[in-house]
Amino acid sequence: MKLLLAPMEGLLDHTLRDILTRVGGVDRCVSEFIRVSGTLLPDRAFLRVVPELNQGGRTRAGIPVRAQLLGSDPNCLAENAARLAALGPHGIDLNFGCPAKIVNRHGGGATLLDDPELIAAIVSAVRRAVPRTMPVSAKMRLGNLDGSRAVECAQAIAGAGADELVVHARTKADGYRPPAYWERVAEVRAAVSIPVAANGEIWTVADALRCRELSGCDTLMLGRGMVVDPGLGLAIVAATRQAPLSDAAARGMPWESLLPLVTEFWSLVLARRDIADRHRAGRLKQWLNLLRRCHPRAEAIYGAIRTVNDPAQIGAYLAESVRIAA
């Protein structure tokens, strides 16, 4: 089984990608979207979202990153894809699934699923604009307001020349409410000749195995499940290989192993020039808040720093937590 790390705007950016891919289990990442709207972006716009382009298009752990574009103008997307391709990503992904209202109001993301012809035009234009050796993939939901055109949209994507498709097993109207309709991904997979990956509501090894069974997909994309349990990828790999589970895989990832990575994440956040000082602590709290779902001991740190914004105080508390856990 192959595992992909999902893009998650405002959460799973290049800093968290760096940390999560150090844990292991991930075969490829997709970046959060780069919005394309009427202009040819400068290189710095791509590098801001995908700084891994400065290191061969890979995270520091060596995991390849595919850069994602979002927009609705085929020609503009094609021009930007050509410029992006020159920077050396491990493929270009097209976003047809974002449910955010601000994106949808401008005709991008999941709203495009109401217009399979436009989707095909976008994929075709991007495919022609980049080298044949560079993979072009797409991510879609089952639909916008309903899933009646899921197969039609997938066929439009495949027929226009995409090399791979990821399907989030819910519509935009479903949002992130469970369940995910993995069996609908099987319908999509049966209707196209390109590889299809399943995404949505994979929180545990059992979820991953059930998703594979119902969707028929040997490639899964992990999002929030990997954020709340960074050891999930390792656990899925071990389970599918029928190998003995390590402690990290069997119990998620032990807190003692994860805590130093949380501390490293904080150091990387502090080093970033594109995050305002007043927002730095919020990035750490955001992840700790999610980690509480799988790691009860994250609760104590989250509670201790919830109202603290001073970097020195937060750093001192994390250092003491690491010392105690050692």
Do 163 and 194 contact (CB within 8 A), yes or no? yes
CB 164 within 8 A of CB 197: yes
Contact 67, 23 (CB under 8 A): no
Show Cβ contacts of residue 55 under 8 Å, excluding neighbours closer than 6 positions.
none
Coil/strand/helix, residue 242: coil
Residue 242 region by backbone torsions, left for phi larger than 0, else alpha for psi between -120 and 50, else beta: left
Please name which of 75, 78, 65, 61 lies closest in space to residue 22, comparing C-alpha atoms: 61
Of 305, 238, 297, 292, the C-alpha closest to 266 is: 305
**Residues 29, 76, 98, 153: which is the catalytic one?**
98
Element (H, E) at 126: helix 116-129
Give 246's DSSP letter: P
Helices 182-191/205-215 angle, 10° precision: 40
Tell me, what amino acid is at 62? G
217 is annotated as an active-site residue: no
Angle (CA) 303 305 310, round 5°:
170
Report, as residue numbers or ranges, the catalytic residues: 98
